[in-house]
Amino acid sequence: MPLSTNLATAPSRSHSDPAHDALRAYARDPFHGLFEGRTVEDLIAPGSLLDTPAAKRWYRDLFAGLPEELYTYQLPLDQASGPVSKALGEEITMFSSYSYLGLIGNPRINRAAQRAIDRYGTSTGGVRVLTGTLALHLEVERELARFLGQEAAAIFASGYDANVAAISSLFGKNDFALLDQYAHRSIHDGVAMAGCEIKRFKHNDLEDLERHLQLARERGYRRILIAVDSVFSMDGDQAPLADLIAIKKRYNAFLMVDEAHAIGAIGKTGRGVCEEQDIDPADIDIHTGSLSKGIPASGGFVAGSQALKVYIQHGSAPYMFSAAITPANAASILEALRILDEEPEHMDRLRENTRILKDGLERLGFDTGASTSPIVPLILGDEWRAYRWAKHLLLDHGIFTSAVTFPAVSPGQARLRLCATAAHRPEHFEKLFLALQACKEAEL
């Protein structure tokens, strides 16, 4: 696609635009005067509830960043999230949404959710194992298992819950967990809850993984879990599943693969990295994912054998002690799976837009890491630089991106995490590239 390199044409917003002022006021004072005229010590008195190193670190960062209008988080949207949305009355172009298929607000999905509310109401009134199971849940689970090529699937209120449920119900303190260092926080929390011995292997480094496996074997561990994301959420690169399967078989370990950013994002028909890398899903022992990204609902799943599903439904805390996924969410998931089957154009457009995003950033000379998915990081290094770029993009260009800093990524690896969706159009990319070029020229 044509990319103008004339910076003079880069649209910049006028400081007198009242809606723009609202975004600026938010970036300076998002907490309604909480920090006005106060110090960290005023807000966190010695011995008080918030007198902890973590709380004090957050508050110091907020005190340093707010006068510079650097707070671009939790921006309240006035309407549905899409490539163009509205926040505080101001139009914004969205480049940090996980709605890879661009299906938020899709009329078929909205109608399905409305029909489910008409039939079942807004809540299930209980946990799945007692009074919360609907016929609709069973239909979603059957469809999801078929979609994934697995024998069975159980759904949860979130992807976070699904990961915690699978790990904490299957592993315990005599077991050993080997996690990719960039595996999602929910996987780390699951093994911490299980009480396993935990080691992190270097990201996608099979030699390091084998070194740890040999140590685990020498130390006499019988049950070993290897857990990875299939698409890593901060880098957009993929796990080498064929190699991981060969290794787990050699060491008699179990493999868990989290497809949160792969379902509805990767693979010819959006079935994830198994489809993309031509892997037999039966070789994955625990197949998990989120239903709140490519699939525009809220929920998560654990898929695998029928026996695994039945156990997880009776032996995992998030299934037994947390309310069932709502009817509207369940219906949205079901309709999105149907759309993926019937309307291949969404995945086609996503692939094309992913290519446009990555090519455009590389043409501008940015470091985009090893991304092979719609998540394309723009690595900036210093965290304050990432905050400044996100601010400039939002307040001067109306472009909403996410500055991702420690602890979500390693220190010195701060970035803007940009995501392509099927709904972006050429003019959105053109606008982004011009604005990024302006950031670069301004040496922010």
Provide the annotated active-site residues.
Answer: 233, 261, 293
Q: 110-149 mask for ligand PLP (x: CB under 6 A)?
A: ----------------------------------------
Q: Which is nearer to ligand PLP, 158 or 169 (CB)?
A: 158
Stretch near ligand PLP under the rule CB under 6 A, chosen from 156-164, 278-286, 400-408, 423-431: 156-164
Contact status: 168 vs ligand PLP (CB under 6 A): no
Q: Are 248 and 276 in contact, with CB atoms under 8 Å apart?
A: no
Which class for 45: exposed (0-12), middle (13-18), buried (19 or more C-beta within 10 A)?
Answer: exposed
Q: Which of 169, 173, 225, 233 is nearest to 203 (CA)?
A: 233
Asked if 318 is part of the footprint of ligand PLP (rule: CB under 6 A), the reply reads: no
Which of 292, 353, 368, 421 is the binder for ligand PLP (CB under 6 A)? 292
- Closest contact distance (angstroms) between CB of 268 and ligand PLP is 21
Per rule CB under 6 A, count of chain residues that contact ligand PLP: 14
Closer residue to ligand PLP (CB): 238 or 290: 290
By the rule CB under 6 A, 391 interacts with ligand PLP: no
Q: How far is the CB of 96 from ligand PLP (least distance, A)?
A: 12
Is 300 among the residues that bind ligand PLP (CB under 6 A)? Answer: yes
x/- site string to ligand PLP, residues 228 to 247, per CB under 6 A?
A: -x---x--------------
Stretch that binds ligand PLP, among 24-32, 158-166, 245-253, 385-393 (CB under 6 A): 158-166
* Under rule CB under 6 A, residue 290 binds ligand PLP: yes
Q: Which residues pair with 255 in a beta bridge?
A: 226
Nearer to ligand PLP, 93 or 158 (CB): 158
Q: In angstroms, what is the minimal distance from the CB of 233 to ligand PLP?
A: 4
Cα 233–chain centre separation = 5
275: region left, alpha or beta (phi > 0 left; psi from -120 to 50 alpha): alpha
SS (H, E, C) the chain: CCCCCCHHHCCCCCCCCHHHHHHHHHHHCCCCCCCCCCCHHHHCCCCCCCCCHHHHHHHHHHHHHHHHCCCCCCCCECCCCCCEEEECCEEEEECCCCCCCCCCCCHHHHHHHHHHHHHHCCCCCCEHHHHHCCHHHHHHHHHHHHHHCCCEEEEECCHHHHHHHHHHHHCCCCCEEEEECCCCHHHHHHHHHHCCEEEEECCCCHHHHHHHHHHHHHCCCCCEEEEEECECCCCCCECCHHHHHHHHHHCCCEEEEECCCCECCCCCCCECHHHHHCCCHHHCCEEEEECCCCCCCCCEEEEECHHHHHHHHHHCHHHHCCECCCHHHHHHHHHHHHHHHHCCHHHHHHHHHHHHHHHHHHHCCCCCCCCCCCEEEEEEECHHHHHHHHHHHHHHHCEECEEECCCCCCCCCEEEEEECCCCCCHHHHHHHHHHHHHHHHCCC
297 binds ligand PLP (CB under 6 A): no
Q: Which residue is nearest to ligand PLP (CB)?
A: 159
Residue 374 binding ligand PLP, by CB under 6 A: no
Q: Quick one: which segment of 31-39, 194-202, 256-264, 266-274 binds ligand PLP (CB under 6 A)?
A: 256-264
Q: Which of 145, 260, 274, 330 binds ligand PLP (CB under 6 A)?
A: 260
Give the residue, chosen from 158, 238, 402, 413, that forms a contact with ligand PLP under the rule CB under 6 A: 158
Shortest Cβ 229–ligand PLP spacing (Å):
4
Query: Alpha-carbon torsion 372, 432, 414, 158, what sign?
Result: negative
Q: What single letter denotes the amino acid at residue 289? A: G
Identify residues 398-437 at the interface with ligand PLP (CB under 6 A). Answer: none
Q: Which is nearer to ligand PLP, 260 or 350 (CB)?
A: 260
- Give 69 or 235: the residue with its C-beta nearer to ligand PLP: 235
159 near ligand PLP, rule: CB under 6 A: yes
- 81 near ligand PLP (CB under 6 A): no
Q: Closest distance between ligand PLP and the C-beta of residue 109, in Å? A: 17
Q: Closer CB to ligand PLP, residue 184 or residue 391?
A: 184
Residues that bind ligand PLP (CB under 6 A): 158-160, 163, 184, 186, 229, 233, 258, 260-261, 290, 292, 300
